Structure 1
Amino acid sequence: MRYFTTFLLTIILVSCTSISKKEFKSVTIEPIFEDSLSIRAIAPIDNNKVWFAANNGIVGIIDETTPKLATIKYEDSLLNFRAIAARKNAAFVLSIANPAVLYKIGYNGTEATNIEEVYSEKGEKVFYDAIAFFNNKEGIAMGDPTEDCLSIIITKDGGSSWNKIPCDELPKTENGEAAFAASNSNIAIVKDKVWIVSGGKKARVFHSADKGETWEVYNTPIIQGKTMTGIYTVDFFDENIGVIFGGDWEQKDFNEGNKAITYDGGKTWKLLSNGKGPGYRSSVRFVPNTNGNGIVALGSPGISYSADQGKTWKELSNEGFYALEFVNDSVAFASGRNKIAKLSFK
């Protein structure tokens, strides 16, 4: 029995080592959809299919290179969508600005079926930024403050109904603190835990360990103080290791105070490669199956990659995108101005 256990441990250690050392040398960018749209929200179904939400009321599925599109109108208005989440039998798209409208779109595995309005909110300050799900029943969406807290709505019935959390149950926001609807990646979820990021006059991380029942808020060293500074995107590898990215949208090359990592679930953050590597980026993701070492960050200036948890970076492409979502450890989808592409990392 001793020999078997030793042999098994050896296999595990070798396997982990090989995974953690996987390193990308290049990326192949394959355009799969081009249109006169701003596409800031994508949700892959598999290697060949991806949901997307865009401006001008357009939502759809790209099946390989075949688009299946729908135009959603609210009364006489074409809504702008920058948030999307996909479940097995449905997708959810959430519009920015006033009114905010959330739709549930049925999906039969091939195409969209019914479209149902499941939440709406009106108000001068209403502006929702991102949406994500814990599981098939429970989900969360976030937006800018309409009072003195972030706007956070939750569902517990698979998205059929949503309720807004009152401000007296949430941390207070500072004057001028809000969020950016840049890539639908203001929310990160691991099991029951959720992290939400802010920007503007303050750049902070709001955290709930119980699916939004109770909340804490943590400061970060990310650049802040101006309208377009702060955290634009967040991702967590596990319950402890997370990364935030952003910067100054008005000085996209500025690479100080724009990226940081946590090892304690978001309580404290340490700047990454400060003054080195990429500047402003709008979407960051841990590469699957790299033990939290591989990170890809992209934005309008291009695609950046780190194999060592953000200590050093290489530029894989100067082609600009807004949003990034991995399907597996070598394939991802990216969306941007007028386009969606399939990215193959090698």
Structure 2
Amino acid sequence: MTSMGKTRRTVSVGLCGAALAAALAVPAQAAQAAQAAHHRGVPRWELKQTGTEVRFRGLAAVSRNTAWAAGSKGTVLRTTDGGRSWRNVSPPGAGELEFRDVEAFDGRRAVVLAIGEGEASRVFRTGDGGATWTESFRNTDPKAFYDCLTFFDSRHGLAMSDPVDGKYRILSTGDGGKSWKVLPSDGMPAAEPGEAGFAASGQCLVSAGPRDVWLATGGGATARVLHSADRGLHWTAAASTVPAGDSARGVFGLAFRDPRHGLAVGGDYRTGQTSPQAGAVTRDGGRSWQQATTSPPAYRSGVAWLPHSRTAALAVGPTGTDLTTDGGHSWRIVDSGSYDTVDCTPDFGCWASGEKGRIARLEFRPGTL
């Protein structure tokens, strides 16, 4: 397995609506669109004060008001007022754990995953906003290393481990994370030598709809995406166009807006290393992948479709945020701030989180063009 501030400021991210039109239109149209965007307000990342310096690679957006973040030193934060204040709701005694994924159903119910070898991989759940937590799973297999969680609905979900005895291991829950069982491995294809998942953003295992789920890999000769249409019982594997061939390279994050249309981002997470071909797109549910014509310019670990859009999405990484308006075929950088993961909700509650306690929400500020 490859594991991977406090100042409030606003940075431009020219997204959606009139702002997107301004970016894409011919000069005359762009001027008119820019004027319209000026009156409507331009979407921008606004950093929120979290009061901590831990790194938040786990993020669950519930709405524009409510979000959960999970990170290093066993830290879990929750806001219910749009990020104006954050409550530390970390599980007691979890200070030595590394939380890398959180899945939340509302402001009270959430499930978090701690990563690591052996018993360091654990799952906790809360039903009262983090006032109390129950450890619902602790890994006892020294060969397993859990990376990511995903839920199809408030009851049914999966967690994935790096290969054990040559195959990825899948945990399943049917009661909202209260209990877990290991699924049979008969329907899982063999892992490639050196292949694993990346616990970088909570997006190496994602779902769309009631039964479809995808698993991102790297580290092997080929960066693959595995797909299951029956909640993890049977899987097929497809090669992505994202380069691999090294333990630090592969697909780090996936996002599907429906069971057919998906995005993959990744690259080489090592500082200073180039990451060509760091973006890919599928239109057939992951059976085949097409390289982005213009990929993100550097390693990206998180990706999310913008609400109510069939073509617009954001990708984030330590060196910036990129925007696509053509379904992932071309990307352009729109912000240089460091983030590890991103998540959006139907009410336009887009959030991002990362190192040094950084959590931001997409905000509209009238008249800021």
- The two structures have a TM-score, normalised by structure 1, of 0.86
Q: Which residue in the other structure is 2:207 paired with?
A: 189
Is residue 312 of structure 2 the alignment partner of residue 294 of structure 1?
yes
Q: Counterpart of 2:164 in 1: which secondary structure?
A: coil
Structure 1 pair 20–263 and aligned structure 2 pair: CA distance change class (3 A) = farther
Structure number having the greater strand percentage: 1
Structure 1 pair 19–329 and aligned structure 2 pair: CA distance change class (3 A) = farther
Is residue 178 of structure 2 the alignment partner of residue 160 of structure 1?
yes
Kindly report which structure 2 residues correspond to 1:199-214, keeping only aligned pairs within 5 A, or say none. Answer: 199-201=218-220, 202-214=222-234
Kindly report which structure 2 residues correspond to 1:1-346, keeping only aligned pairs within 5 A, or say none. Answer: 23=21, 27-32=43-48, 33-63=50-80, 64-73=83-92, 78-88=96-106, 89-98=108-117, 99=119, 100-107=121-128, 111-191=129-209, 192-201=211-220, 202-250=222-270, 254-273=274-293, 276-291=295-310, 293-328=311-346, 330-338=348-356, 339-344=358-363
Can you list the C-alpha shifts for 1:162-200, whole angstroms capped at 9, x where unaligned? 011233331111110001111101122121111111111
Q: Which residue in the other structure is 1:3 paired with?
A: none
**Any conservation in 2 of the 1:34–1:340 contact (CA below 8 Å)?**
no
Matched residue type, 1:245:
V
RMSD: 2.4
Structure 1 pair 251–51 and aligned structure 2 pair: CA distance change class (3 A) = closer
**Any conservation in 1 of the 2:291–2:329 contact (CA below 8 Å)?**
no
**Any conservation in 2 of the 1:330–1:345 contact (CA below 8 Å)?**
no
State, as a whole percentage, how many aligned pairs show the same letter: 29
Matched residue type, 2:150:
A
Structure 1 pair 96–23 and aligned structure 2 pair: CA distance change class (3 A) = farther
Structure 2: gaps of 5 or more residues: 1-15, 24-41
**Any conservation in 2 of the 1:298–1:324 contact (CA below 8 Å)?**
yes
Q: Distance in 2 between matches of 1:345 and 1:221?
A: 35
Q: Counterpart of 1:112 in 2: which secondary structure?
A: coil
Matched residue type, 1:319:
G
**Any conservation in 2 of the 1:72–1:78 contact (CA below 8 Å)?**
no
Structure 1 pair 222–24 and aligned structure 2 pair: CA distance change class (3 A) = farther
Q: Counterpart of 1:114 in 2: which secondary structure?
A: coil
Q: Which residue in the other structure is 1:15 paired with?
A: none
Once the two structures are overlaid, the 10-residue window that deviates more, 19-28 or 202-211, is 19-28
- The two structures have a TM-score, normalised by structure 2, of 0.81
Q: Distance in 2 between matches of 1:137 and 1:238?
A: 20
Q: Counterpart of 2:337 in 1: which secondary structure?
A: coil
Q: Counterpart of 1:150 in 2: which secondary structure?
A: strand
Q: Counterpart of 2:110 in 1: which secondary structure?
A: strand
Structure 1 pair 328–135 and aligned structure 2 pair: CA distance change class (3 A) = closer
Q: Distance in 2 between matches of 1:177 and 1:237?
A: 26
Q: Counterpart of 2:186 in 1: which secondary structure?
A: helix
Structure 1: gaps of 5 or more residues: 1-17
Structure 1 pair 160–277 and aligned structure 2 pair: CA distance change class (3 A) = closer
Matched residue type, 2:226:
F
Structure 1 pair 36–21 and aligned structure 2 pair: CA distance change class (3 A) = closer
**Cα offset for 1:19?**
7.5
**Any conservation in 2 of the 1:72–1:79 contact (CA below 8 Å)?**
no
